[in-house]
Amino acid sequence: MRRLVPLIALGLCAPAAARADRPATVAMGIGASVESTPLGVRAVATPISLDAGAALAAPLWWHVTASFGSATLADHQGDGHLFGLRTGPRLERCWDGTTCLGAGLDLGWGHARWAAMDGTSTVTRDGLDLTAALHAAVAIDPRRKVFLAATAGLAARYALRTDDPARWATGDRLDTAATVGVAFVVRN
């Protein structure tokens, strides 16, 4: 029994130590996306994003991202804002701690609001987003703590016009968005 107690204590402490030295990331970035809108016109958005991630088990990471920004209608007849919150897994592989490539799938919620320049109409849309993205990062400091990252993705959105659902014949619709972004990533 005396030999069993140290083994149990070691078994309880070892996983905690292994979790403590796994890396985590914090990223801040700016991006651009081309969004479809309920007005039938594309919008160009420039969101700023904050991202936090943690390694679960190599090469699997889990990320949470919040983004917010402005959007301009492609016909230059109005503008608006957007907000999004998404989370999901990402597979990432790094070489020598300096170059990383990955792919991820995020599920989230997004809110957008546009106003026409003439002030006669305002459109609000809420949606459930599913985003597939590719990620690449390169270390820009000798300690391999700060990375410059690039992202390209495609999003599908099941959207509901929440300001006046009766104005859409179906009330709901599938929207799409193409996104690109750059970010500074700090790893512990």
Q: Considering the domain boundaries, does residue 31 fall inside one? A: yes
**Full residue range of the structural domain in which residue 128 is found:** 23-187
pLDDT tens series, the chain, 188 aa: 444 333 333 333 333 333 334 478 889 898 888 876 655 667 788 889 999 999 898 889 999 999 999 888 776 667 888 899 999 999 998 888 788 999 999 999 988 887 766 666 777 778 888 889 999 999 888 888 888 999 999 888 887 766 665 554 444 567 778 888 888 888 87
Q: Considering the domain boundaries, does residue 18 fall inside one? A: no
Q: Considering the domain boundaries, does residue 14 fall inside one? A: no
Q: Considering the domain boundaries, does residue 60 fall inside one? A: yes
Overall domain count for the chain: 1
Q: Considering the domain boundaries, does residue 7 fall inside one? A: no
State the CATH number of the domain containing residue 130: 2.40.160.20
Q: Considering the domain boundaries, does residue 11 fall inside one? A: no
pTM of the model: 0.75
In sequence order, what DSSP letters do the residues of 94-146 get, joined into one string? Answer: EETTTEEEEEEEEEEEEEEEEEETTSS-EEEEEEEEEEEEEEEEEE-STTS-E
**Residue 30 φ then ψ, to 5°:** -130, 145
